[in-house]
Structure 1
């Protein structure tokens, strides 16, 4: 009888504990969009297990015979991250117990550590010695593909590939046949460079130039693991393993096609992997850019007549470069010095000397001035495209970038940088090697890419800056100042100071939003006209603690409205973005009545008084008034800028066309009535 009472008491205690015991919240699938999958094979194309977790119950459902379905019921939380569970599966005789731990590799990647299933519930099941790590990953299929991280491996390597499944090497006849580069530019991910498509191993879902994105990094034992996905087709994934401590220039890595984090040597959990014998490449300084990129350049008899791509690859052998081409050039003296970002003047954004340019941000990037061929200068002679090259000391090959810099004064520089390209970036040996091959679009692969964008950003030479003539219209009186929160201040005035180098804002005494104005006095750093003849004045607040730039925009039309904006919004797209309601100015000044005759002097000054911010050289002025094409809903802000026009408002023409069509339909009716 005593034994029965003890047994009943044990069961009741277990049931009460189970009610209180809950699996970690990050594992729950009820009331969330979590979708945990396990035993994932063949580059994430075959999934064997699906897990559901709700409160104290975890159920694992097998989709084929290679795994078993089971369920766990949480009984006790033994430690912060370990749980005593009841184990249930088909055909089981009696109750079984185990201890489990959910090891997070990222927000969406988990491994399970567990003890061997036992007939007895014992605290010993939760000891380190009793628990083993399951090498198979669990991933949240819903969210894992968007969980981008910086890859743990950095540098450039020549690799020789051995396919374990097919028991053969792949394109390993010459040094440089296949390369791997990882995080050469921070945030760009890991690239596989196969010399040609035939060198891509059979059944590997990659192109011969394949960028992969890191979704998770972690260390286990002596190894570091990286979960990778295809950059264009995120349904394909791989797991890479390499030694955490790299003691020399060569090491062996593994690329698993099954998502299994095996720490054995040799690998025991799967045969479906590629062995990568990796050798870090030697440093290529900026003074030695003229080199052949492939060992066969010195082996083949006629590499220069084997197609343009091979001739570009063998640039030195084929005479495309020499001791003087390319050459390290010098930056204009106006570029040299320390420049500060208009939105954050506390610390330098860019420093330049005679031949090097350094961008300061999350990661410091250093570039050298280099010329292959001279890029044509823009028609206004104030905008200049300069090719830059970054050298690396970790095996990465040099990367080329172009900087487009516009200067209308010594105080202010407008800067944007192109995407980054590897050599060769031309398709023929007859093409000029200059900045015409680069595009200035938002570089989504970089973590710190605010200068790699379609629109230029303003930099200020703060240490040497001096105020310039503002050249704004005469005193702008009796305007309504509308702030971002909708507050309006009547009777506002904007005018130049006596010396003409500053702007003063006067708000009415009843203005409740006066504190929202960043300053009432602004020192003018630059005054220019845009391609649409709008007047843009870059200013620095002088009686406030905010150490940043702002800009005033005085549209050519209508003349009854002008704007105050943050300096980082002051670019060639500002008018379009305001008009299309994608940019909300800090303050909008507008007229609510017809101007009096004595206010006619409020029109902008003559255009000839100011320099212009010209459109890009590849813009046809006749295109500026054409109707923009329809824009897909999933376009980004930068994509939308590409299709914005500055055309005429189509609404009046639509109304006129409607009236004409209606009139044509009425003619038969009028004729019939008259007859």
Structure 2
């Protein structure tokens, strides 16, 4: 009818016609279909995303890959390659998909082509269509919401009632061991496990045979604790004490889901539990990397049903307990010293008592508030009489197991601490090492925390010896734990300064910054506690800076020197670290305070650490060095041996206690006189046929002298 609204049929026809025109030439119509940036295999930074899915627990059918499918996303195309499981009844199939149009935000109509068509003539005739949406649970964990595969195209495929979630998780394998988020479940729980795949209960004879602990300490992840090897469900691909990290977590309807990854192997699971619970609930651990949403999963039997009950809290007065119900029933758990049975039944076997372990006090020299300034955060610790408080991590209570002579020396001090919880988590034992040589600087490191009984404990002695000082999943550093002593400065406005003990009082240098800009300058010692750095015509650096020394210490076999400084008269506190070599010809470095430790030089040499500034000394043609710089002699001779041709030779090696002198051909030819010094190695340029052999002999002599000098 003229002037009336278009009929529903006519409107649908118009819309679909426009859609077909757009599909035929989407670029001309202004619509370019492209999958999301977060899915693209090639990132803007140049790194690669390695998307994998169908992770089967332990593989199947003697596969060499646990991952069965790899996905690649390139602009508007998606490709699936099958890596394994091809002989399985439900084997995945390779395919390719092409984006046609983004129907609504985030939902894409795509064409789907199976890649294993038996008859090549039917290849084009097997084209299918579907709608997909990428559900992003984290940067490295994705699911696909998808419609059914059909033989026609229609935007209606993208309607809500046509879309279903694919249970298989898609993981960026490139970041598998670095992906980590806080786990949503918190506390300590006793568990009973039912293995659906085998229809049997697992290790349910005694209370506490299996336990689950989650996020007891920040960043700790989850622990599955199986009391015995036989308590680990068959083919679960877990250790008896298995630590896992959460790669992603989300909520949907009444459940919370977490993707768990092993801390040691490329294995992952989906863990599901009710979001609202009172500490007693049923949870599910899916053996393969798929998350089922059914109340009682029916589409797979490859899962564990875990009955979870939160434990009561343990206080300092509850440290001495038997950790397992079976301790009351075992006949002789204490006869084998250091056995798991004896350590588990610590109270019954007399390893502990109401008086052991006991609280203790920290040395007075350590007490106070200290801070470590990082590029993106500031760490604070507070050492009180009985406690070490680490801001953002936990409070640690000083304890000792056996009486010992009290050590008041804070220059090198190690202490055990304990942390207790009110959410059912077992107490965590942690050790810390301290080193304090100056009033305003404290160096300390924190070990990994352990649950009793920890590996390496015999029960005869309980000490910090078995504890591991290592970083938390980071290459060079960790916010809370480290392989090396971390530098903390007193959290106060005014600091006490100490002698700098610089190896050299005056150095001219070329400074190369991290951005490769270079400047000329010099370093001068002003007094025992201060030195000054001056730059010439350097717009990227202050013309002159005065530094006060807060700590000075030597490290390593060759005596590399670390100096912690404060910038004098700065608007705000600016603490830096300087790394000097005793050799005046060697480079020295300016570092962030977080890298001020004994391994800094090794990390620089290996390329793991890029200094803020590298200072390269500018030396005169003829240089005389101190008798003690044997390392410089060795390094120079080794360097010369690689570059030598037949025109080079050596004269002699004289007097091991003397200095050494390197004279260039140019200086000799110009008649320059060398300073009068102790006898030295002189490398000159006479015509000798035995130059190489003589040089190798001197290299051996220099190494022997170096060893003798260190005895």
Fold conserved (TM > 0.5)? yes
Q: Distance in 1 between matches of 2:567 and 2:15?
A: 79
The TM-score, its normalising length taken from structure 1, stands at 0.77
Q: Distance in 1 between matches of 2:239 and 2:250?
A: 27
Deviation of 1:469 after TM superposition, in Å, equals 4.3
Out of 382, 386, 393, the position equivalent to 1:364 is: 393
Out of 27, 36, 41, the position equivalent to 1:24 is: 36
1:404/1:123 CA distance change after superposition, 3 Å: same
What is the total number of aligned residue pairs between the two structures? 608
Secondary structure at 2:422's aligned position in 1?
A: coil
1:262 match: 292
- The answer to whether the 8 Å contact 1:331/1:353 transfers is yes
2:162 match: 130
- The answer to whether the 8 Å contact 1:212/1:228 transfers is yes
2:366 match: 335
2:4 match: none
Task: Compare 7-16 and 302-311 and name the one that shifted more.
Answer: 7-16
1:275/1:654 CA distance change after superposition, 3 Å: farther
1:502 match: 530
Deviation of 1:277 after TM superposition, in Å, equals 0.6
What does 1:196-345 align with in structure 2 at a 5 Å threshold?
196-234=228-266, 236-246=267-277, 248-305=278-335, 308-341=339-372
Out of 547, 552, 567, the position equivalent to 2:593 is: 567
Secondary structure at 2:594's aligned position in 1?
A: helix
- The answer to whether the 8 Å contact 2:258/2:272 transfers is yes
- The answer to whether the 8 Å contact 1:18/1:56 transfers is no
2:90 match: 66
User: Does 1:160 pair with 2:168?
Assistant: no
1:545/1:309 CA distance change after superposition, 3 Å: same
User: Does 1:659 pair with 2:693?
Assistant: yes
- The answer to whether the 8 Å contact 1:411/1:464 transfers is no
Q: Distance in 2 between matches of 1:61 and 1:122?
A: 27
Deviation of 1:93 after TM superposition, in Å, equals 8.9
Q: Distance in 1 between matches of 2:17 and 2:605?
A: 74
1:458 match: 487
2:537 match: 512
Q: Distance in 2 between matches of 1:30 and 1:575?
A: 35
Deviation of 1:287 after TM superposition, in Å, equals 3.4
Deviation of 1:57 after TM superposition, in Å, equals 5.2
Q: Distance in 2 between matches of 1:98 and 1:538?
A: 63
Secondary structure at 1:165's aligned position in 2?
A: coil
1:538 match: 564
1:33/1:65 CA distance change after superposition, 3 Å: farther
Per-residue displacement from partner, 1:230-274 (whole Å, max 9, x unpaired)?
33220x32211111223x111111111133321112112211111
Out of 475, 478, 503, the position equivalent to 1:449 is: 478
1:338/1:479 CA distance change after superposition, 3 Å: same
Deviation of 1:38 after TM superposition, in Å, equals 4.7
Q: Distance in 2 between matches of 1:245 and 1:427?
A: 39
Structure 2 stretches lacking a partner, 5+ long: 1-9, 61-65, 642-649, 651-690, 698-711
Deviation of 1:51 after TM superposition, in Å, equals 5.2
Task: Compare 222-231 and 325-334 and name the one that shifted more.
Answer: 222-231
1:382 match: 411
1:588 match: 615
Per-residue displacement from partner, 1:145-168 (whole Å, max 9, x unpaired)?
653333332322211110111111
1:342/1:75 CA distance change after superposition, 3 Å: closer
1:610 match: none
1:536/1:258 CA distance change after superposition, 3 Å: closer
- The answer to whether the 8 Å contact 2:553/2:562 transfers is yes
Deviation of 1:294 after TM superposition, in Å, equals 0.7
Out of 516, 522, 545, the position equivalent to 2:547 is: 522
- The answer to whether the 8 Å contact 1:350/1:359 transfers is yes
Out of 516, 520, 533, the position equivalent to 1:489 is: 520
2:21 match: 13
1:650/1:238 CA distance change after superposition, 3 Å: farther
Q: Distance in 2 between matches of 1:51 and 1:562?
A: 48
Deviation of 1:215 after TM superposition, in Å, equals 2.5
- Alignment RMSD (CA, Å): 4.4
Deviation of 1:314 after TM superposition, in Å, equals 0.7
Deviation of 1:75 after TM superposition, in Å, equals 3.8
1:453/1:85 CA distance change after superposition, 3 Å: closer
User: Does 1:177 pair with 2:185?
Assistant: no
- The answer to whether the 8 Å contact 2:40/2:75 transfers is yes
Greater RCO, CA 8 A, separation 6+: 1
Q: Distance in 2 between matches of 1:302 and 1:408?
A: 50
Q: Distance in 1 between matches of 2:611 and 2:75?
A: 46
Q: Distance in 2 between matches of 1:250 and 1:561?
A: 62
1:393 match: 422
The TM-score, its normalising length taken from structure 2, stands at 0.73
